[in-house]
Amino acid sequence: MMQRFGDWLAGHNLPSPPELTEAGIAVALAVAALALGWFAGRTLGRRIAAFWAHHVEHAEIFTGRVCEIVRHGVAAVLLGLALAGYPWHVLAALALGFATGSAAAMLVVAVLRGLNLPRWLAWTVATLAFAAILSRTIGQFAAAQDALNKVGFQIGERNITLLSLLSIGVTVLLLFAAVRLFNRLLAHWIASARGFDPAQKLLVQKLTSIAAVIVAFFVGIDLLKIDLTTFTVFSGAFGLAIGFGLQKTIGNLIAGIILLMDRSIKPGDVIVVGESFGWVNKIGVRAVSVVTRDGKEHLIPNENLMTQEVENWSYTDRNVRVRIPVTVAYDCDLKLAQALMLRAAKESPRALNNPPTNVRLTAFGESGVEHEILTWISDPESGVGNVKSDVLNRLWVMFQENGIKLPVPRRDIRITSSDAKHD
């Protein structure tokens, strides 16, 4: 077919009637394949999309693009079979090659965009796929390879050409897409697993993600036929960089893995580190994300959680005791005031019945009798201040209704005359 295409271009010969008929058949097959792809996307694609939304939607990949992937995928497969199943002449092969390349390019865009890769990157790879399929169809793929191999530069004993750079770029991109797809599906499977607690889920996810990156690295080295012995000096320099410049980064990574292994801090725990108080949102490679009640997200390095004192309010038990100080006047009914304190705390929605709420008299202060309400909650991530506010608001109404007075600070001033002293 390559010879026919070259002769046709050189002689500018018009196609014969049988070739025109064959080209018409090829166009009809291309239209039929595209129509079948559209029909498959409307029927089979919707069923697959419904299954995907029900089982894998939380993986956040291919969202809203399942039907599109099925449509272009079916069309590309059918066109590829039609192209390879018969020795077409130039015009027919050109028509089928153009349709196959277009369907494959749209499939590449749908898949890469479904993996949340940038639009420009997806369309660049799609253009390369279209050009490769079309050039192979008309028999010019080898010529294109030779042209790309002639453009390059020399680095030591290795010749870097435009073709090798394209091969490296496409291989790295495909491996990156495969690793991202694997990590998203694995994260979804781990999140839906019932046999692990949150810390174990996160630990398995991080270890498998690291393993996937390592496997992809060595697979890429093998596909690109890169000799690792040429990187001996570079690996030594990289080791020194890890020992000095990346020491903190590697330390934080190891500290994060240790935190997940000993399960001292888990996603959802309520912790206090220094002045940071909140619930653990995420344990990352470098830092732990702690969200405060103000909506602020503090990123605390993993090493700090290993070396500093950390208060974990939900390490072994999520129940937390809330202390609410209350002072009443000396001349009030003390028993009634204590009963009202107990009642106000028990009626608060977040207060637990077990452990029970208690009221303690703590001191006889300067202006009143000091008490402390001790109540328990099981959701410290929702905050403690709002519990105190709710109890004190209820107690204020009860005190007003029952005549319980709050103490008002008094200061006695005594004035003595200097004249009376002389008398």
CATH topology of domain 250-312: SH3 type barrels. (2.30.30)
The full set of domain ranges for the chain reads: 2-150, 250-312, 320-402
Least confident of 40-49, 63-72, 118-127, 275-284: 275-284
| pLDDT of 422 strictly over 70 | no
Least confident of 106-115, 301-310, 390-399, 410-419: 410-419
- pLDDT tens column, 61-115: 777 788 888 898 898 898 888 888 888 777 888 888 888 888 888 988 888 888 8
- Give the C-alpha separation, 291 to 297, whole Å: 4
Contacts of 179 (CB under 8 A, 6+ apart): 212, 213, 216
Torsion on CA atoms 351, 354, 355, 358, rounded to nearest 10: 60
Check residues 191 and 39 and name the one with the higher pLDDT.
39
| pLDDT of 8 strictly over 50 | no
| pLDDT of 176 strictly over 70 | yes
CATH topology of domain 320-402: Alpha-Beta Plaits (3.30.70)
Structure token digits, residue 33: 């394949």
- pLDDT tens column, 130-161: 888 888 877 766 666 676 666 666 665 666 77
Scored b (16 or more CB within 10 A) or e, 334-371 reads: eeebbebbbebbeebebbbeeeebebeeeeeeeebbbb
Q: With bands split at pLDDT 50, 70 and 90, how would you rate the model's confidence at 12?
A: very low
- pLDDT tens column, 280-335: 888 777 788 888 777 788 888 888 887 778 888 777 777 888 899 999 988 888 89
Check residues 26 and 192 and name the one with the higher pLDDT.
26
* pLDDT given at position 392: 92
- pLDDT tens column, 218-229: 888 777 777 666
- pLDDT tens column, 248-261: 777 777 777 777 77
Top-confidence range, 159-168, 298-307, 386-395 = 386-395
Report the percent of the chain where pLDDT is more than 70. 81
Going 54 to 58 to 62 to 63, the CA torsion angle's sign is positive
H/E stretch holding 358: strand 358-364
Q: Is 44 exposed, middle or buried (0-12, 13-18, 19+ CB in 10 A)?
A: middle
Mean pLDDT throughout 111-128? 85
